[in-house]
Amino acid sequence: MDQPRTDEDQELVARTQDGDAGAFDQLVVKYTPRLYGLVYNMTANHEDTNDLLQDIFAKAYKSIRGFRGKSSFYTWIHSIAVNMTLNFLKKRGRRFHLSLDDVDASIQNDKEFLELTATSSPVREADLSELQRRLNEAMMKLSDEHRAVVTMFHIQGMPHAEISKILNVSEGTVRSRLFYANRQLQNYLEEFRKNPVS
């Protein structure tokens, strides 16, 4: 996932700090879709994602006067989002219900989607919807921290260095968490491949 232009963000941040609320609206519009994907794949619930996103932007708006630009706005807003979501998940505990829907039928004609599913792979051999459902379940079996890394790396396409900045951990920790999470997901999906009806 391409990062947005930093200088454009800096200008919007500066205008917001000068009291231009419209500039912050532009940042909200710009970052809502990508933050939605991040929070949604960590919480697996649409209502929780919506509430969290509102809180994330509210917190960002309150704190933006203290933002000194030591990191990019992209990193800063993602840090707020990940930390607030992790805190929320700790409070929620294991009480959740999956609301992750199967892949929307309308995007099954999407070029990128077709490319991803065109190659010969277990994905094609298995029922795609069922596999996605199993994958969602497997994701929710990961710890919150591992799920955050998987979401940012695999789904959002962030590099290790960026994830390490957002989580404020070393790149080695990011790689280690990713390796462990991949092994867990593989094991779970292998069980599904061997026993598809279970």
Partner 1 sequence: MDEFDDKEIGRLLRLKKFEQPPPDYFENFLHEFHRRQRDELLRQPLWKIAIERAQDFMLRLNVGRLASYPVAATAVLVCAAVLSLKIYQTPQAPSVAQIQSTVPAVQSDWNLASQVSGVMVAQPRPVFNANLSTHRKTAPPRYVLDSMPVSYESTLRF
- Does 11 bind partner 1 (CB under 8 A)? Our answer is no
CA 43/CA 81 separation, integer angstroms? 12
According to CB under 8 A, which one of 20, 127, 130, 190 is a site residue for partner 1? 190
- Does 110 bind partner 1 (CB under 8 A)? Our answer is yes
> Which lies closer to partner 1 via its Cβ, residue 73 or residue 192?
192
According to CB under 8 A, which one of 71, 75, 176, 182 is a site residue for partner 1? 182
CA 12/CA 80 separation, integer angstroms? 18
Q: Which stretch binds partner 1 (CB under 8 A): 2-10, 82-90, 99-107, 160-168?
A: 99-107
Question: Residue 139: CB partners within 8 Å, gap ≥ 6?
Answer: 41, 44, 147, 150, 185
**CA 9 to each of CA 20, 54, 61, 128, 174: distance values in angstroms, whole numbers, following the listed order:** 14, 20, 14, 38, 26
**Residue 171 parent element (H or E):** helix 171-194
**CA 98 to each of CA 41, 45, 107, 170: distance values in angstroms, whole numbers, following the listed order:** 10, 6, 21, 31
- Does 154 bind partner 1 (CB under 8 A)? Our answer is yes
Q: Which stretch binds partner 1 (CB under 8 A): 3-11, 31-39, 82-90, 160-168?
A: 31-39
- Does 141 bind partner 1 (CB under 8 A)? Our answer is no
# residues near partner 1 by CB under 8 A: 46
CA 176/CA 171 separation, integer angstroms? 9
* Polymer length of the chain: 198
- Does 36 bind partner 1 (CB under 8 A)? Our answer is yes
Q: Which stretch binds partner 1 (CB under 8 A): 8-16, 78-86, 118-126, 164-172?
A: 118-126
**CA 24 to each of CA 7, 36, 59, 84: distance values in angstroms, whole numbers, following the listed order:** 15, 17, 12, 20
Residue with tokens 């710890």: 143
Q: Site residues for partner 1, window 45-74 (CB under 8 A)? A: 46, 53-54, 57-58, 61, 65
Task: Give the interface with partner 1 as residue ranges (CB under 8 A).
Answer: 19, 25, 28-29, 32-33, 36-37, 40-41, 46, 53-54, 57-58, 61, 65, 100-101, 103-104, 107, 110, 113, 116-117, 119, 121-123, 125, 131-132, 135-136, 150, 154-157, 182, 185-186, 189-190, 193
